Amino acid sequence: MTNQLTPETPDAELVRLAKAGELDAFEALTNRYEHRVYGLAMRMLRQEQDAEDVTQQTFLSVLENLEGFRGEASFSTWVLRIASHAALKIIRKRKGLNTVSLEEATEPSDDLNSIPHPEFIADWRQSPEHLVERNEVRRFLDEALTRLDEKHRLVFLLRDVEGLSVRETAEALELSEGNVKVRLLRARLQLREELTRVLGDPARQLVRSHHHHE
């Protein structure tokens, strides 16, 4: 039995065919998401071998668990969830911990009232369009990412790089939407701070007055 698979064939249809044993459909799904999974893993782990392990484990897990996938979440969210957990597992292992839990991260610091204030405030010297082409900028962006706590980094990558919605990010990480929002805000603010310290124009630095105006 052959099916006409095209780049337009929806994920849900490919999933249905793969569940029925169509290898082509499974390969089409793999082709569609492997680069995103690899990219996410590289940005989380910054190590090729580990990123490859995460990618392969993710698709082996997709293969093993496809029958159980009921489509409550979209396929892409499901795949990114598997990849996220695989990446976290490696991070925990590096730290000598054996547990993989995202929930343990619900600390008092995840409270909106303790969001750190922006400190270095200045316009950037160049537009993102110019910056994005420079190799040293990419390295610096990745370094800034690794300085984020992994629970903030993962939320930022899923939401802002992979383009998941807040709800999908919450589903992928099994977190509440509120928790995702707070983590995302922390991640964005920390990255803004680090990037602005390097890319900001010191001559145009603004100092915020200590009384807050209405």
Residues in touch with other proteins (CB under 8 A):
21-23, 26-27, 30, 34-35, 38-39, 42-43, 48, 51-52, 55-56, 59-60, 63, 112, 115, 117-118, 121-124, 127-129, 131-132, 137-138, 141, 145, 156, 160-161, 163, 181, 184-185, 188-189, 191-192, 195-196, 200, 206-208, 212-214
Tokens standing for residue 179? 């928790």
Taking the least distance from each CB to other proteins, the nearer of 97 and 115 is 115
Please answer whether residues 90 and 46 qualify as being in contact, where contact means their C-beta atoms are separated by less than 8 angstroms.
Answer: no
Least distance CB 170 / other proteins (angstroms): 13
Taking the least distance from each CB to other proteins, the nearer of 104 and 142 is 142
Query: Sign of torsion, CA 20 21 24 28?
Result: positive
Q: How far apart are CA 196 and CA 145, in angstroms?
A: 14
Taking the least distance from each CB to other proteins, the nearer of 52 and 149 is 52
How many CB atoms are closer than 10 A to CB 150? 19
Least distance CB 67 / other proteins (angstroms): 10
Least distance CB 127 / other proteins (angstroms): 8
Least distance CB 72 / other proteins (angstroms): 23
Least distance CB 101 / other proteins (angstroms): 25
Q: 92-131: buried (b, 16+ CB within 10 Å) or exposed (e) per residue?
A: eeeeeeeebebeebbeeebeeeeeeeeebeeeeeeeeeeb
Phi, psi (deg, nearest 5) at residue 155? -60, -45
Q: How far apart are CA 58 and CA 55, in angstroms?
A: 5
Q: How far apart are CA 178 and CA 195, in angstroms?
A: 26
Least distance CB 6 / other proteins (angstroms): 20
Taking the least distance from each CB to other proteins, the nearer of 23 and 99 is 23
Taking the least distance from each CB to other proteins, the nearer of 64 and 96 is 64
Q: How far apart are CA 8 and CA 173, in angstroms?
A: 28
